[in-house]
Chain A
Amino acid sequence: MLKKASSPALNVGKATKHDSADRHVRGNALYIDDIREPRGTLHLAPGYARESCGKIKSLDLEVVRSAPGVVAVLTAADIPGLNDCSPSFGGDPILADDRIEFHGQVIFAVVAQSHIEARKAAKLARIEIVAETPMVTAEDGMARDASVLPTYEFNRGTPAETIKASPLSISDSFRIGGQEHFYLEGQVSLAIPQDQGEILVHTSTQHPTEIQHLIAKMLKIRDAAVVCECRRMGGAFGGKESQAAQWACLAALATHITGRPAKMRLDRDDDMIMTGKRHDFRCDWQAGFDEKGKISAVEVDFLARCGCSADLSLGVNDRTMFHADNSYYYPENRITSHRIKTNTVSNTAFRGFGGPQGMVFSERMMDAIAIKLGLDPLDVRRTNFYGGSGRDITPFGMKVEDNILEELVGELEQTSDYRKRRQEIAAFNAKSPFLKKGLALNPLKFGISFTLKHLNQAGALVHVYTDGSVQVNHGGTEMGQGLYTKVAQVVAEEFGIDLENVQITATTTDKVPNTAPTAASSGTDLNGMAAKLAAETIKIRLIDLAARLYQIEKSAVSFANNHVQIGQQKITFAELTQQAFLQRVSLSSTGYYATPNITWDRDSKSGRPFLYFAYGAACAEVTIDTSTGEMVIDRVDILHDVGKSLNPALDIGQIEGGFVQGMGWLTTEELVYDDQGRLRTHAPSTYKIPTASDLPEDFRVKLWDSPGNREDTIYRSKAVGEPPVMLATAVFSAITNAIASLKPGVLPQLSTPATPENILAAVKLMKSGD
């Protein structure tokens, strides 16, 4: 490795605009549906039964085949290889051939001359299902002992006994709702036949490698014959990690069978019905504590509705457990995760990957304890923070070594004027009959790394051309988060050149193979490092060359401002690259990075799953209407830790956007299934993500002034993709706080999302009875 550059950073740390910003606003940034299709491109539409569970008795597709424009109708029988697009343990048929496991499961796909003809034809199928009673809720699945994966548990001490022996205890049960990704660009793939039976697939996915492998298995061809490419996604949020695969597979299958290019783009309703969501939970818990609110032991059961297959439920539910402590030390605990099977769409990755559900639990527990004791919830939270002797081991045995909770929360407490506003709110509530206010300041600690160890690796490919321009490619995908921009900044920094000289290229499996998904907030940590290593390799060659040509010490060679300083000589970067070519020095290199220091072993439940933790805190103030349950968020203050920011503008964007997405999840975004397991909220007309007016009028977001990540991450930055989602627990706690003002000492029965209806129901309970 090279010594750290001593000159000030030229690219890293700058609030550089997103690499595609200009094209975004001009409308010429190409998404897959915008690519000019080759002549003769066919279009697919999915067909599905109206039942949720049962055996397929008959499938009559004659009318579909003879509908206008139809070229082919694909069924399971057309699949030459493996009919499964599962990312993990199987059970996700590309086309169902025997059983229906959820409403929206695809049985056939129409291939037609136009998108509209395909959609219209798909409606004409006659499908007979021998219907069975579906398991819709987690309770339905529990009652039939149905699970997609075995129950998993973290244990420490004898929590049940300790809770009994504690001076005080609470037990509670509440629900945590799911969430639809609502990426603005729906699922889409375009397959194009190549020479010799190879297939190029443009696919909107966070995981091109996995799709490449699944297509190869499906078609019984070699991985090397499939190329998957993604320049950008119109949003993903985890929804295009595993569940982009089915549509790419179907497009590839259509191409394989017809020999023509084929595109599959899901209509919004189909997308919402056919793809999985954030897992929803029932959460049953009890805790023992003392009169100061200090916890002695916690027991919690997470009942996750996983849907009909395992998909990514192992990792998601593990992460719920990893974050059931959030920022708090539990001397004793039993954290149990039930991965329940239901006849609903298979739930999947969603920004935070189970972590948010774990934290909603811990924050509700803190609120419950504070309400019971009549203490300020922030004081109860602080009493339980990690820190102090012996209070730094998580329920999964990892030591918390980079704790900045006290400093960070203390600063936000001051800057948000928390204590004064607490008093003002009490005064307001005392004389307001209809409206009540609530306030909360919640912390956040989120573990960074894939908990599946082997995914913590990345590759990059850097080419330098003889005009001094540089092309960078890596395994990470761009879904709006600005990964390409950050990696380009890193490469520009290495070569001391302007960002304009770094050409960003689409993620594709034929440049960097065998990649991990862009997920777990790890995109920059992994790919930034891999790209840096690739650039460093070339840079070392250039330094060697310069030292040799100019007969000078290597240490006298440095790169800055598009120039190379070689002792007293100064030449342009381009001139040195031309020299390299003439002197037959390679200007291309790969880079490979594997995250160090992670040792988690799931079976023995020991080791270190995370390289480090990201921290943050949010303070939210809300007002509720006790006659309608309507709620507005009046003010939010956020302080978040990104280590040394690689790009403050992009980081702030992730924090604000993540917070608002979390806020939507906990307030207006409600998934409604009917008793037959059919999703009733499958379009933006019924499923309500935040709009501009939902943004708090007073919204103050700041980066924590960090000395830098303690771990040796890329320029000492920290991951930022997922953690901010969980800052929104402050909104849920503030709503709880507002309702609690109606009857001191009583915990409001509030589940998430806190819709007007759920808020009013909780208010009504507070007003009635005793």
Chain B
Amino acid sequence: MTMRQSIRFVRDGKAVELTNIGPNDTLLDYLRLTEESRGTKEGCAEGDCGACSVAVGSINSNGKLEYQAVNSCIQLLGMLDGKEVITIDDLSRGQEELHPVQDAMVRHHGSQCGFCTPGIVMSLFTLYHKGIKADRPAINNQLAGNLCRCTGYRPIIDAALESCNGSVDDRFSKALKTTTETLTGLDDGQDVFVGTEERFFAAPVSMASLAKLYSQHPDAIVVAGATDVGLWITKQLRDLPKIIHLGRVKGLDRVEDNGNELVIGAGATYAQAEEALATIDPDIAEVVRRIGSTQVRASGTIGGNIANGSPIGDSPPLLIALDARLGLEKAEGKREIRLEDFFIDYGKQDRQPGEFVSHVTIPKLAENQFLRSYKVSKRFDQDISALLAAFRLTLENNRVTSARIAFGGMAATPKRAGKTEKALIGLDLADQAGWVKAAETLEQDYQPISDMRASKEYRIDVAKGLLLKALHEISHSASGTDSPETRVIGKREHSLREAV
């Protein structure tokens, strides 16, 4: 198969082809330093503030053009291959009139210092293009990754309520057909390899070419969304000479519902997977909603969240509680392991040289299985968890017959609470003294550390509190009785409504 030694993306309606990009070049630097388009701002260079947000257009699995906000500071330039990039400088370029989102922001006094404004406008531009009548929760979600230090957000929310109202009529919607054609034309099915054997950005298009390339370069960094790797470049100033990007591998972004199980490809972003995941349980929808921000979920993948082995990733404990299995692949063959076995120790996973995560298989809940999951962090949105708890109980006649409990943030890896699980098995759910005893057992399963997010005492206290809360909630769910409110956020009836 032929190889393309350039990347191509659409800017201002025209395809741009670049042949000399570096593997560590970011989209933000390209915009600000190469193009000298300086409307897009750098606020934090780590994907947390959203000042650098731009809209990326791509053709989704239904063949439709879709816009998503991403943080350009941690998007590697090569990852834009085959996509359209729209920035604040493009939105009303050469036009007397403002875009409806810009116009609403002005009329509602949505800017003060104005530095976050370009990012906010671009984030809302993508919400506008969803063509839905956005309500307050949808707007809060869209803006979770856009920090504003001046306004307190109220006028921005009002501007969003007014402008993101379901009608889509701007010069980008008018150009929909031609943009779609241009993007389709760029999709040549060729592997991308820009650079030399020592220093390159590569974006293979098939599992076979990925496996082959990775076996030739087991020292390469495999990147899905770069929401973590991007920071190695911008913050640690590391030089990553070899980058293999997963975003173009056909089939790697699959999201399949096989009846009893979901199969999610390692290249599927949270944004692509969240709808399917929400069908398992509203708590999953809520946890996924609180992973990063809209921008992060548009780029970040569950596969990446697992593969990088962080002890504070939010999806691994949740998936471990659900008894998920992990697919691994390399040139020599494939294998599937239980997800919990993947995490060996801090910074150490069961992954061989040249082997990459291909997919995760997630069993759905049986009739008599109950899931509860809670994310606890200093701030509700766009924050890394102090701890993440996931409980799956199987009940028979109100008795626990099997328990899977996993926590993030409580150990060097996402880890099950083996002793506590044992303490729960056989327990009658009406036995509240038994709940307390089981909760105390958590101290034997975990010896968390103190850091800037939480102290070890807090982590243990909350872990116990969450187990008691889960048992309280499950006992009411199982018996169909009303419970007093138990949560200040992520109320299940609300999540269900949002998921629908």
Contact = CB atoms under 8 A, between A and B. Distances in A.
- Greatest chain B CB density within 10 A among A15, A27, A31, A632 is at A27
Contact of B106 (A22, A435, A658): A22
Interface stretch (A82-90, A244-252, A426-434, A705-713): A426-434
B468 interface: yes
Contacts of A232: 113-114
A541 interface: no
B41 A184 contact: yes
Contacts of B87: 27
Nearest to B37: A27
Contact of A25 (B38, B102, B115): B102
A623 B487 CA distance: 10
B18 interface: no
B132 to A, nearest CB: 17
B44 interface: yes
Contacts of B440: none
Contact of B151 (A119, A269, A657, A691): A657
A685 interface: yes
Given A627-B462, A660-B153, A693-B144, A24 B111 contact: yes
Interface in B165-200: none
Contacts of B91: 26-27
A631 B453 CA distance: 16
B152 A22 contact: no
A583 B358 CA distance: 84
Interface string A602-613: 000000000000
B319 to A, nearest CB: 22
B39 interface: yes
B114 A668 contact: no
Interface-centre pick from B114, B237, B379, B380 (highest chain A CB count, 10 A): B114
A699 B381 contact: no
Given A632-B488, A684-B46, A693-B144, A760 B461 contact: yes
A234 interface: yes
Contact of B114 (A23, A237, A431): A23
Contact of A692 (B49, B112, B153, B384): B153
A333 interface: no
Interface string B448-465: 000111110010011001
Interface residues of B, number: 86
A311 interface: no
B345 interface: no
Interface string A646-681: 000110110011111100000010101000000011
B455 A691 contact: no
Nearest to A668: B379
B437 interface: no
Given A25-B105, A624-B488, A668-B378, A434 B115 contact: no
Interface stretch (B5-13, B116-124, B248-256, B331-339): B116-124
Contacts of B383: 688
Contact of A184 (B113, B139, B452): B113
A304 B487 CA distance: 37
B150 A657 contact: yes
Interface string A408-435: 0000000000000000000000011111
B28 to A, nearest CB: 12
A691 B453 contact: no
Instruction: Choose among A481, A624, A686 the residue with the greatest number of B CB atoms under 10 Å from its CB.
Output: A686
Nearest to A35: B38
A160 interface: no
Given A185-B41, A692-B140, A693-B140, A123 B46 contact: no
Nearest to A650: B109
Interface in A83-131: 116, 119-120, 123
Contacts of B486: 434-435, 625
Contacts of B141: 693
B98 A756 contact: no
Given A31-B115, A672-B452, A685 B458 contact: no
B480 interface: no
Contacts of B39: 26-28, 34
Interface string B41-55: 111111011010000
B430 interface: no
A185 B154 contact: no
B111 A18 contact: yes
Contacts of B206: none
A650 B383 CA distance: 31
Contacts of B45: 267-268
B68 interface: no
Given A184-B43, A432-B484, A656-B152, A22 B98 contact: yes
B305 interface: no
Interface in A230-272: 232-237, 267-269
A623 B155 CA distance: 24
Contacts of A234: 41, 113-116
B151 A184 contact: no
B92 interface: yes
A460 B395 CA distance: 77
A653 B108 CA distance: 10
Contacts of B453: 686
Nearest to A182: B149
Contacts of A393: none
A17 B143 CA distance: 23
A643 interface: no
Most buried by B among A25, A183, A631: A25
A30 B114 CA distance: 10
Nearest to A680: B452
B376 interface: yes
Contacts of A701: 154
Nearest to B43: A184
A481 B112 contact: yes
B40 interface: yes
Interface string A205-247: 0000000000000000000000000001111110000000000
A652 B154 CA distance: 10
Interface string B81-104: 000000111011000001001110
A395 B193 CA distance: 73
A398 to B, nearest CB: 31
B462 A760 contact: yes
Contacts of B113: 183-185, 232-236, 479-480
A311 to B, nearest CB: 21
Contacts of B70: none
A284 interface: no
Given A18-B112, A27-B89, A653 B465 contact: no
Given A26-B39, A434-B484, A183 B149 contact: yes
A305 to B, nearest CB: 18
B89 to A, nearest CB: 5
A630 B46 contact: no
Contact of B378 (A267, A756, A764): A756
Interface in B349-376: 374, 376
Nearest to B40: A27
17 contacts: A18-B111, A25-B111, A27-B87, A31-B41, A182-B147, A183-B113, A184-B43, A184-B113, A184-B147, A185-B115, A480-B113, A627-B468, A657-B149, A689-B147, A695-B157, A699-B154, A757-B458
Given A232-B113, A657-B149, 4 more contacts: A22-B98, A119-B237, A656-B155, A690-B153
Interface of B: 36, 38-46, 48-49, 51, 87-89, 91-92, 98, 101-103, 105-107, 109-118, 121, 136, 139-141, 143-144, 146-157, 235, 237, 374, 376-384, 386, 451-455, 458, 461-462, 465-466, 468-469, 472, 484-489
